[in-house]
């Protein structure tokens, strides 16, 4: 242990010589500080109590987040090794900084049932990264809930080859006690090879929960599995809308209650864009109208409920906050959680975690919807206020 230089110099001046200092120092009697005396007087260590909030198995809480790459969540950046352990730095709005940790996220949000991650950007054959994600969601504290991760990564040989195949991809993280109780089946769909759709399904009650990273419409070419050009990415986006609608309606006919969660790459209406709603090029307007018609039309569409609008009415809220701009100066609500109309009575809460802290290393913030499973979902359409159908 180092000694304060000022203390040494002052004793030299008092004793006059090095030998005198040593002799007097050795003859001195020191009492331990008060805190240490208390420790020495009680050799028994006090147990550390960790309070764990256990989630309700009948409360289905679905979180969704486009994280824009999984890497920051599974490894410590080199700069973290040089930071003080007890940092008191604050964010621009006074929020304490949040590390990119999946366990911290799950703990902070009271152990969601399901966390749907989009744009994880994992190479299809990267077993090491997938294993690291499994480790990152695993419980390390006794009594805390455990989780497991499921992946849907791109296998398309023509439309998902950029960035060394670290592109697109979704990951569904499910709490293990819920798995033990409801025994879900996690599956992909045959019409998606870009790693954009993953479905978790249960029986008794029958739920079909979709993790979606929807196509972002552009004028770039979309290629068939033979490599032939089949229109643009705008055309593909509309085709995926139809695929989702057809399968979701079929599931509802079979008695499933459908929840679609993820980055839909659509801002539904004027209220969902700030400062302006994207209307150029014109194809974005067409894509928006197609999405609203397919999923919210009460005649031929899914007749779905927009959970955020169902709870918050016309309150503004956004999920996409591009980096490089002042937070909140330009944003859109393009991430949604929508559900079958039969779940209207079961929705107990929905919201958006719209802070820089929650955005973390991404350019999207998380959103959530909560459902009460203790009350049986209704078997058909029900009376609802029109706010959830707002277009």
Q: Which of 147, 168, 213, 222 is catalytic?
A: 222
Q: Is 66 annotated as a binding residue?
A: yes
Q: Is 363 annotated as a binding residue?
A: yes
Q: Is 216 annotated as a binding residue?
A: no
Q: Which of 241, 308, 364, 389 is catalytic?
A: 364
Q: Nearest CA to 102 among 142, 149, 141, 56?
A: 149
Would you say 171 and 121 are in contact if contact means Cβ atoms under 8 Å apart? no
Q: Which of 263, 306, 332, 389 is catalytic?
A: 263
CA distances from 324 to 66, 77, 329, 362, 363 (A): 17, 21, 11, 12, 10
208 Cβ neighbours under 8 A, 6+ residues apart = 199, 200, 201, 248, 251, 256, 257, 258, 259
**DSSP element (H, E) containing 212:** strand 207-213
Q: Nearest CA to 269 among 292, 290, 286?
A: 292
299 catalytically annotated: no
222 catalytically annotated: yes
Q: Is 263 annotated as a binding residue?
A: yes
Q: Is 364 annotated as a binding residue?
A: yes
**Spatial separation of the C-alpha atoms in residues 284 and 176, rounded to whole Å:** 40
**Spatial separation of the C-alpha atoms in residues 67 and 72, rounded to whole Å:** 9
Which stretches does DSSP call E strand in the chain?
59-66, 114-118, 147-152, 170-175, 185-187, 197-202, 207-213, 221-223, 229-232, 257-263, 273-274, 305-306, 331-332, 335-339, 347-352, 367-372
Report, as residue numbers or ranges, the catalytic residues.
222, 263, 364
Q: Which residues are annotated as a binding site?
A: 66, 119, 263, 265, 363-364
Binding residues for Mg(2+): 66, 119, 263, 265, 363-364
């Amino acid at each position: 242990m180092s000694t304060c230089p000022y203390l040494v110099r002052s004793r030299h001046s008092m004793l006059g010589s090095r030998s005198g200092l040593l002799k007097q120092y050795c003859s001195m009697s020191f009492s331990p500080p008060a805190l240490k005396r208390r420790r020495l007087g009680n050799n028994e260590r006090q147990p550390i109590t960790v309070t764990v909030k256990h989630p309700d198995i009948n409360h289905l809480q679905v979180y969704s987040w486009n994280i824009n790459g999984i890497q920051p969540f599974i490894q410590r950046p080199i700069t973290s090794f040089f930071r003080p352990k007890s940092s008191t730095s604050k964010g621009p709005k006074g929020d304490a900084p949040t590390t990119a940790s999946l366990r911290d996220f799950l703990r902070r949000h009271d152990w969601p049932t399901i966390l749907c991650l989009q744009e994880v950007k994992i190479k299809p054959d990267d077993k090491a990264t997938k294993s690291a994600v499994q480790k990152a969601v695993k419980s390390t504290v006794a009594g805390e809930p455990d989780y497991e991760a499921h992946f849907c990564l791109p296998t398309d040989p023509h439309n998902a080859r950029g960035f060394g195949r670290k592109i697109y991809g979704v990951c569904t993280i499910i709490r293990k006690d819920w798995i033990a109780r409801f025994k879900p089946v996690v599956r992909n769909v045959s019409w998606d090879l870009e790693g954009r759709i993953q479905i978790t399904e249960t029986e008794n009650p029958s739920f079909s929960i979709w993790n979606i990273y929807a196509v972002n419409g552009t004028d770039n070419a979309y290629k068939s599995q033979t490599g032939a050009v089949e229109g643009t990415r705008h055309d593909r986006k509309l085709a995926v809308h139809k695929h989702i609608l057809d399968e979701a309606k079929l599931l509802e006919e079979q008695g499933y209650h459908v929840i679609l969660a993820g980055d839909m790459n659509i801002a539904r209406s004027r209220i969902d864009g700030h400062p302006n709603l994207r209307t150029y090029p014109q194809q974005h307007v067409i894509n928006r109208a197609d999405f609203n018609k397919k999923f919210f039309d009460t005649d031929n569409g899914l007749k779905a409920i927009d959970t955020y609008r169902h709870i918050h009415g016309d309150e503004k809220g956004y999920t996409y906050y591009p980096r490089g701009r002042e937070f909140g100066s330009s944003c859109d609500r393009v991430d949604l959680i929508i559900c079958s109309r039969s779940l209207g009575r079961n929705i107990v809460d929905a919201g958006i975690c719209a802070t820089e802290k929650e955005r973390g290393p991404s350019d999207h913030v998380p959103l959530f919807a909560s459902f009460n499973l203790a009350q049986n979902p209704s078997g058909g359409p029900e009376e609802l206020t029109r706010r959830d159908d707002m277009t």
